[in-house]
Amino acid sequence: MSTTNSSVTATSLISDFKEITKMRLSLSVVFSAIAGYLLGAETIEVSTLILLAFGGYFMVGASNAYNQIIERDLDALMDRTKNRPIPSGRMSVNTAFTIAVLFTILGIATLYVINPRTAMYGAISIFLYTSVYTPLKTKTPLAVFVGAIPGAIPFMLGWVAARNDFGIEPGTLFAIQFFWQFPHFWAIGWFLFDDYKKGGFFMLPTGKRDKGTAVQVIMYTVWTVLVSIIPVFGFTGDLKLSIVAAIIVLALGMVMLFYAIQLFKERTAQAAKKLMLASVSYITLLQIVYVIDKLIR
């Protein structure tokens, strides 16, 4: 009996750890950072890749833990978040804070081993997400604009880890992920509108599921697609894109735009969910196309 209890406890501890650090989100961030590194690296160093993967995970895990500490009372009000470790009472605030601080130190230290500039951007990301984006979420829809900055850092971070330099190339990678986040997060804000309302979160630009929000979703989707194909024109230094790769990226962008237009037409939670899934597919496939294009060139 005690063996069963201890195995259940161990399983729930692992599950809570995954949830407090938002493992799936953190791994998607690590994926972005690695894609950025592969694009920037002249010679791939496995040790740097490993440091970047761990540093990136620690960085996002820390941000998510701080976020859940700050929002614990609001999380308890929403169906989507009421079973998280802190509001459900499975994890104390002190334990979560210990994880957050430990991850902050480990994240910045790990990224510092790669180079100080990478660590600096990692630290900026944690600070903006925790100290600016999180408090603004209950105050103004502009929170999404602020949140898009730390959200756009990982893709760029990988290039900086490879080159120890910030220029047009990582700036372009940052811009792609920055613009992409608006349709992505507004789609989430749309289909979770009622739940967010319980927590007092303002995620949509007009504050409503209306035409104004849907128009802005389309506008930022178009910006995302346009910025994504800029490297094909040769303006972006060492960040290059072949014509074939640019056509593939453009086609992927058209799929995302189709779902953004569907949201405008239907204005339903179902249409918003489809756009959210399309946006996740878009950014993932874009990064894969960029990397493959570089490797076969």
pLDDT tens profile 10-27: 677 888 888 888 888 888
**Taking 50 as the threshold, does the pLDDT of residue 1 lie above it?**
no
pTM for this predicted structure:
0.88
Amino acid sitting at position 113: V
Residue 219: in which H helix or E strand, if any? helix 211-229
What confidence score (pLDDT) does residue 7 get? 53
Least confident of 67-71, 94-98, 197-201: 197-201
Which H helix or E strand runs over 155?
A: helix 143-163
Distance CA 297, CA 236 (A): 16
Task: Break the chain into its structural domains and give their ranges.
Answer: 13-166, 167-297
Angle, helices 211-229/269-296, rounded to nearest 10 degrees: 10
Tell me how far CA of residue 20 lies from CA of 73, 126, 150, 279, in angstroms.
15, 15, 18, 24
For domain 13-166, give the CATH superfamily: UbiA prenyltransferase (1.10.357.140)
Output Rg (C-alpha) for the chain, integer angstroms: 20
